[in-house]
Amino acid sequence: MEKATRDYFDKRGAVLVKNLQKNHFEAYYCATKAEALQQVLALMPEGSTVGWGGAISAAQVGVQEAVHAGNYTVIDRDRFSDPAEKLRCMRECFNADFFITGANALSLDGQMVNIDGNGNRVGMIVYGPKNIIVVAGMNKVCATLEDAVKRARTVAAPMNQQRFGLPNPCTVTGSCADCHCESSICNQLLITRNSKPAGRIKVVLVGEELGF
């Protein structure tokens, strides 16, 4: 990564950490994926029950692999191919000690935006486990909340949709058509202004481009 980009991420990250903390998030900035992995693991005591959903950025950092290799009780929906078993596993995450996820966008004033198809991920963030760990690359950071919502809907969702290949307009065009398809992955839009209780949501910012 070029020095100018690194400096840009570092300085912007420092501002965002301060604003997230002001909004009662527990927030950290890590310059690299390796530092971010160590920070995430430091937040989770051994023996904890850990689950996740829609956590591509965390996977790129190596979190899921490290959790499987560590001394944790793991709730991993990807172990199951049967839809009923997968759904049961997803619901189990409500009782996890830690739930790991990503953010579709963050505004520089310290707010988080997520968009979801089934609602399991945003449901966990709103009223799920005692601890939520969000891993997000600095490419997710937007100047304003309006920009963050726009990014979630017109960048993150169409890019993510390419993984699923569902019969939605953005699968074909790569652009949001504001559709109401039965297979839409944009059914719940969550703006998290503050973490309540304070410190429940822990955001680990990474000075690299991660996820969608």
pLDDT tens-digit series, residues 115-136: 999 899 999 999 999 999 999 9
Specify the pTM. 0.95
| pLDDT score for 161 | 87
User: How sure is the predictor about 85, in pLDDT bands with cuts at 50, 70 and 90?
Assistant: confident
Residue 109 sits at φ, ψ, to 5 deg, of: -85, 5
Q: Is the pLDDT of residue 83 over 90?
A: no
| pLDDT score for 166 | 86
| pLDDT score for 133 | 98
Beta bridge partners of 107: 111, 142
For the stretch 39-79, pLDDT in tens is: 999 999 999 999 998 799 999 999 999 999 999 999 998 88
For the stretch 169-212, pLDDT in tens is: 898 899 998 999 888 989 999 999 999 999 999 999 999 999 99
Name the percent of the chain lying above pLDDT 70: 100
CB-CB contact of 130 with 198 (8 Å):
no
Q: Is the pLDDT of residue 109 over 90?
A: yes
Neighbouring C-alpha atoms within 13 Å toward the C-beta of 194: 6
| pLDDT score for 190 | 98
User: How sure is the predictor about 16, in pLDDT bands with cuts at 50, 70 and 90?
Assistant: very high
Q: What mean pLDDT value characterizes the chain?
A: 94
Domains defined along the chain, listed by start: 3-206 (3.40.50.10420)
CB-CB contact of 86 with 77 (8 Å):
yes
| pLDDT score for 163 | 85
